[in-house]
Amino acid sequence: MKYEWILFDADETLFHFDAYAGVQRMLTAYGVEFEEGHFEEYQVVNRPLWLDYQDGRITAAQVQERRFANWAERLQVSPLTLNSAFLSAMADICRPMEGAVSLLDSLRGRTRMGIITNGFGELQQIRLERTGLKEHFELVVVSEVVGVAKPHPEIFRHALELMGNPAPDRVLMVGDNPDSDILGGMQAGLDTCWVNWHGHAAPPGILADYEVRSLDELEEILSLKSGCAGR
């Protein structure tokens, strides 16, 4: 195995993140007759917040406080109460992505593994425990805790320090988001693998070392080729 460590993104790389179902479950619990427009309304607020968070313009706490502010006012509860209810709903419906369990099982004992995510700490350990995947990972690095989000170099430096500062080219970063996972890994000097589920074109200037359409494909590459020949 070429890689001493493999770092994985969490949402939509290892775990399904069905925000629609999560918002639906949260609002239904508050007696709201959920409609598709409710989710669209949420995303109008949520998407720009995540871009601002990724670019370092706002904090994780501000994302959690602002994304449900409108609904908090309507339901007469605090935004953070709704945010916790949403994260709880997401934990309840969490399931691994197709091929994730097989991939992680095949890598266990052959390399060391960690997670580096822009998600929130409240959700990470719960779903690792509920999916039975907790024992696969030696570290979980959460942007909320570190104080910066991918692709900022600091979160990758922090992860490398926790890993004992291995040579960057002995670390593979695997993720579905080229703008945070792949760009961040590139800037940190890591090898990168883009899990391009839907066959999108890469953003200008972002080129992963490897590109796969499924985790099964990545498992085959890592199983058959000790050096993992690139594209």
Residues forming the active site: 9
**Residue 119: partners with Cβ closer than 8 Å, 6 or more residues away:** 10, 11, 142, 143, 144
What are the backbone dihedrals phi and psi of residue 56, each rounded to the nearest 5 degrees, phi first? 80, 15
The b/e string for 56-95 (b: 16+ C-beta within 10 A; e otherwise) is: eebbbeebbbbbbeebbeeeeeebeebbbbbbbbbbeebe
CA–CA separation, 195 and 14 (whole Å): 10
The b/e string for 114-145 (b: 16+ C-beta within 10 A; e otherwise) is: bbbbbbbebbbebbbeebebeebbeebbbbbe
